[in-house]
């Protein structure tokens, strides 16, 4: 009986490990498909808001609810699913990095929004589903399956990756701060962002998040984290391209030297 139980546990873990691999391929596919669709339609939120995509959800409520699963799902997996690998410090730190990002996005970022445009329900629902999907994928991988050698936190992959994660998050937060403060009280309309990496790229906030998740992927060295980084590049790169075209159309004096999303490259 004991041997049968061990065999069942091994088979169960093997099946779930295979599931995580399939979900990772799916995540890359979602990113690629989104980038393809965004060649024909702009993501309908913010300046591109459209009632065609469903009932408008207030901006603060939408951001809080759609980002919350990427905070709560990994927390739940860490606390209530056995979390076999969280006895190891590399796994604890990496799960914490993921949670810190989404604690900011779900709990702090929405509070800072100043009269943002609502999010159409379909866009909100898709973002919510994505965060459940990815929250499970990253949380389960790091809390139950990812294995690291002793000294991983002192190794070059983690150190360089952590530096990328931290720099990317700082760039993302500071760029969002610049965007929120473009208008003075009582002003309406759009302005050209100035300062920070906006002097070099249109999508400075997007660049920050792309850098953050590629740094996280290097620090984690898991297939799941790499899939998330690639998906992020597909989606945010497409959004940055739309923003770049929009600024060029709206402002005759928009700096032509600015790249789309990656300084000095794109």
The pLDDT score that the predictor gives to residue 150 is 93
Mean of the pLDDT values across residues 61-68? 97
Cβ(190)–Cβ(250) under 8 Å? yes
Phi, psi of 73 (to 5 degrees): -65, -50
The count of other CB atoms within 10 Å of the CB of residue 180 is 14
The pLDDT score that the predictor gives to residue 97 is 98
CA distance 153 to 143: 16
Asked whether the predicted pLDDT for residue 10 surpasses 90, the reply is: no
**Residue 57 parent element (H or E):** strand 56-57
Among 2-11, 42-51, 240-249, top mean pLDDT goes to 240-249
Asked whether the predicted pLDDT for residue 199 surpasses 80, the reply is: yes
CA distance 37 to 27: 15
Q: Which residue has tokens 């779930």?
A: 16
Q: Which residue has tokens 């998040």?
A: 209
Report residue 14's pLDDT band, with 50, 70 and 90 as the boundaries: confident
Q: pLDDT tens across 238-264, in order?
A: 999 999 999 999 999 999 999 999 886
From residue 102, how far is each of 15, 59, 109, 152, 217 by CA, in Å?
28, 17, 9, 24, 16
Among 48-62, 171-185, 226-240, top mean pLDDT goes to 226-240
Query: Which sequence spans correspond to the domains of the chain?
Result: 2-250
């Amino acid at each position: 009986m004991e041997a049968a139980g061990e065999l069942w546990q091994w088979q169960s873990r093997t099946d779930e490990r295979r599931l995580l691999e399939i979900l990772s391929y799916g995540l890359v596919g979602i990113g690629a498909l989104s980038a393809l669709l965004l060649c024909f339609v702009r993501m309908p939120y913010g300046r591109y808001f459209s009632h065609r995509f469903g009932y408008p959800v207030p901006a603060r409520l939408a951001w809080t609810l759609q980002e919350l699963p990427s905070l709560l799902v990994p927390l739940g997996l860490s606390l209530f699913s056995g979390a076999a690998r969280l006895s190891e410090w590399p796994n604890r730190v990496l799960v914490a990095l993921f949670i810190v990002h989404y604690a900011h996005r779900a709990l702090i970022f929405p509070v800072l929004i100043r009269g943002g445009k609502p999010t159409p329900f379909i866009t909100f629902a898709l973002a919510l589903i994505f965060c459940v999907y990815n929250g499970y994928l990253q949380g389960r991988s790091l809390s139950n399956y990812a294995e690291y050698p002793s000294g991983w936190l002192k190794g070059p992959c983690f150190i360089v990756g952590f530096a990328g994660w931290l720099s990317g998050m700082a760039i993302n937060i500071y760029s969002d701060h610049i965007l929120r403060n473009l208008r003075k009280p009582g002003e309406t309309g759009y302005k050209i962002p100035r300062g920070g990496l906006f002097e070099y790229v249109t999508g400075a906030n997007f660049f920050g998040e792309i850098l953050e998740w590629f740094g996280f992927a290097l620090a984690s060295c898991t297939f799941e984290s790499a899939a998330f980084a690639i998906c992020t590049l597909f989606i945010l790169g497409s959004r940055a391209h739309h923003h770049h075209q929009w600024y060029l159309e709206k402002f005759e004096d928009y700096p032509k030297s600015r790249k789309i999303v990656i300084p000095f490259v794109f």
